[in-house]
Amino acid sequence: MIIKLIIVVVLFAVTLGIAAYLTLMERKVAAWMQDRIGPDRAGPFGLLQPLADGGKMFFKEDFRPTNADKWLFIIGPGIAMFTSLITGAVIPWGPDLQLFGETISLQVADVNIGILFIMGAVSIGVYGIMIGGWASNNKFALFGAIRASSQMISYELAMGVSVITIVMMTGSLSMRDIVDQQHGFWQDGWFSWNVFKQPICFVVFLITALAECNRAPFDLPECESELIGGYHTEYGAMKLGFFLFAEYVNMFISCAVISALFFGGYNFPGMDYFSGNTLAILGTLVFFAKTFFFIFVFMWIRWTLPRFRYDQLMHIGWKKMIPIALINLLITGVVIAYTEGWFSKDKSNESASNAKIEQPLGVNTSPEKTKTGNSL
Amino acid sequence: MESLSNRKKVVSNKKMTFMEKLYFPAILGGMWITFKHLFKKHNTVKYPEVKREFAPVYRGQHVLKRDEEGRENCTACGLCAVACPAEAITMTSEERKKGEEHLYREEKYASMYEINMLRCIFCGLCEEACPKEAIFLTDRIVPTYFERNDFIYGKDKLVEPVDQRVDISKRQLTGKRPA
């Protein structure tokens, strides 16, 4: 119990710390891509910049517009922050750690519906933006909130379908199971990571994750140039800070989910040579390295691509992403059914193939088949 | 019609191919460009530590020159004030008394000479109007203050000290109109 509490506190602190330093990383990456240096005045290499920004946020006037709904105006950023922080609970950060004769699971809660929990928490996250934007009583904030909700709903569908594809292959909704099934790097004659089994699914998930995080090129809810900040136009001080912070926490969590679902989480090539605590620590480091790589990719995309138009956003979401994800789901289902022997006319043949595979129902054991299924 | 500049581009509305519709090659190409910029030289000049060299004709804070013997050139004729489009210059003139010959070059001098740096647009017309080569713009930057009155520069700030002459040779060589 106490160990769980410690893990919760450590996860909370680490998530907040990483989110704070992601703001610095974003500014640095942006600067380098634009041939600039970036913030370098606060401390060596500007390392104290997040502290300075946070301090500034705390000491600014906590302003509230006269016509804003008082309580909803305060609750909005709170919901955004809360939902972005609870998603980290089900992510397996590393293999089990052996400490003081006890096995410590580097995961706050191994719920058997982990990925469903993340999807649910992310959907609640849009309430923070909606309530905040609506309570501001400002037309730009309302525009931003409306765009945010419609964008979230549109892209959640494609995201959900691509997650279902992975769940079908794994046969489990638990994050720990999904990661464990991608053990090592090479298994049964094919790469074990899901990205090599489901590349289309990965691309769909990456794009929808960008949209869910409100990152460029899908940053319509808060586009500075059209909506002067969108849903947080009327916010200032730490309430604005909460919105911005929640966004970076979201980005961190979704990058962690991407690396867990598609890039093997804490699995790495040659992990069988290690065991025990060495494996646990190395695995955690590998997981964070993968996560940070994807965070860099997110920033890289932001500083490369311009923003989509609103109709283009809807066009991509409903007419491109969802059909692609659905067709991918269909093909995966057919391939799984084929490997399970559903198409064989002979009943005895079916049971024979089932016995040969020796895997629970719904688990795709033939990666080569899946690959051909994707290239269809 | 024939294009004279040879820069005319014909816009085509041809149907995009499947690869073009996917957009992924174009997006990856764009990301490759931004990736290359990560390793390029930064253009930033770290200002307070490193100062960029000004152009020789840079027009900054004014200086009222003295001649070789340390006498003020200005005779308070007021031509600079007349030429000034921003009405930033004002002055009062006074007659040179006996015993002040080492201070002022001619019989008349400016007892008060003020430039309002908030009004000044640094066009350099005062410099062109001056018949005595008394006022010049230099490559010094006017700093910022918290009070408006601080921006009104009097003779104490404008006249160059005898022992710290302000170099205006670059501007004299390049900025002068051909005779």
- The dihedral over CA atoms of A188, A193, A196, A199, expressed in degrees to the nearest 10, equals 140
* pLDDT score at A107: 78
The alpha-carbon gap from B40 to the nearest alpha carbon of chain A, in Å, equals 6
**Tally of residues, chain A:** 376
**What are the CA-CA distances from residue B54 to residues A153, B60, B139 (Å)?**
55, 10, 7
**What are the CA-CA distances from residue B143 to residues B47, B152, B153 (Å)?**
14, 12, 12
Mean pLDDT lowest for which of A205-209, A351-355, B35-39, B49-53? A351-355
A35 vs B31, B42, B46: nearest CB? B42
Contact list, A35 vs chain B (CB under 8 Å): 37, 40-43
* pLDDT tens digits, one per residue of A315-337: 888 988 899 999 999 999 888 88
Mean pLDDT lowest for which of A90-104, B42-56, B94-108? A90-104
* Domain interval for residue A123: 2-375
Is B164 inside any structural domain? yes
Kind and range of the H or E run holding A146: helix A139-170
Structural domains in chain A (count): 1
ipTM above 0.90, yes or no: no
* Domain interval for residue B83: 62-175
Is B127 inside any structural domain? yes
Give chain B's mean pLDDT.
Answer: 86
Is B37 inside any structural domain? no
Q: Name the residue among A187, A236, A193, A252 with its Cα closest to residue A23.
A: A252
* pLDDT score at A8: 86
- Contact check, Cβ <8 Å, B44/A32: no
Residue of A nearest to B35 (CA): A33
Residue A21: other Cβ atoms inside 10 A: 15
Read off the pLDDT band of A133 (50, 70, 90).
confident
Give chain A's mean pLDDT.
Answer: 82
* pLDDT score at A295: 92
* pLDDT score at A271: 75
Residue B76: other Cβ atoms inside 10 A: 22
Whether A32 has its CB under 8 Å from any CB of chain B: the answer is yes
Pairwise CA distance, residues B160 & B171, whole Å: 16
The alpha-carbon gap from A300 to the nearest alpha carbon of chain B, in Å, equals 7
C-beta of residue A370 within 8 angstroms of C-beta of residue A197: yes
* pLDDT score at B153: 92
Q: Taking 70 as the threshold, does the pLDDT of residue A348 lie above it?
A: no
Q: Are strands B108-116 and B152-153 parallel, antiparallel or unpaired?
A: antiparallel
Is B57 inside any structural domain? no
* pLDDT tens digits, one per residue of A358-376: 444 444 444 444 444 444 4
* pLDDT score at A345: 65
- Contact check, Cβ <8 Å, A35/B34: no
Q: Taking 80 as the threshold, does the pLDDT of residue B124 lie above it?
A: yes
C-beta of residue A340 within 8 angstroms of C-beta of residue A361: yes
Structural domains in chain B (count): 1
The alpha-carbon gap from A114 to the nearest alpha carbon of chain B, in Å, equals 32
Whether A99 has its CB under 8 Å from any CB of chain B: the answer is no
* pLDDT score at A358: 46
* pLDDT tens digits, one per residue of A147-177: 888 888 888 889 989 999 988 888 888 888 8
Q: How many CB pairs under 8 A join A and B?
A: 32
Q: What integer is the mean pLDDT of A238-255?
A: 88
* pLDDT score at A362: 47
Is B69 inside any structural domain? yes
Is B148 inside any structural domain? yes
Is B66 inside any structural domain? yes
* pLDDT tens digits, one per residue of B91-112: 999 998 888 888 888 889 999 9
* Mutation for A interface: B37, B45, B47, most A CBs within 10 A: B37
The per-residue DSSP string of A277-316 comes to: HHHHHHHHHHHHHHHHHHHHHHHHHHTTSPPPPHHHHHII
C-beta of residue A235 within 8 angstroms of C-beta of residue A132: yes
C-beta of residue A192 within 8 angstroms of C-beta of residue A264: yes
Q: Name the residue among A256, A264, A260, A267 with its Cα closest to residue A298.
A: A256
* pLDDT tens digits, one per residue of A169-195: 888 888 888 888 887 777 777 777 888
B38 vs A33, A301, A305: nearest CB? A33
Percentage of the residues of chain B whose pLDDT score is greater than 70: 95
Residue of B nearest to A297 (CA): B31
- Contact check, Cβ <8 Å, B33/A301: no
* Conformation bin of residue B62: beta by default, left when phi > 0, alpha when psi is -120 to 50: beta
Residues in CB range of A52: below 8 A, 6 or more apart: A42
Residue of B nearest to A203 (CA): B24
* pLDDT score at A293: 92
* pLDDT score at A196: 83
Q: Name the residue among A178, A6, A8, A252 with its Cα closest to residue A109.
A: A8
Give the CATH number of the domain where residue B111 resides: 3.30.70.3270
Residue of B nearest to A300 (CA): B31
Contact list, B27 vs chain A (CB under 8 Å): 304-305
Pairwise CA distance, residues A374 & A363, whole Å: 16
- Contact check, Cβ <8 Å, B31/A37: no
Residue of B nearest to A40 (CA): B46
Whether A305 has its CB under 8 Å from any CB of chain B: the answer is yes
- Contact check, Cβ <8 Å, A37/B37: no
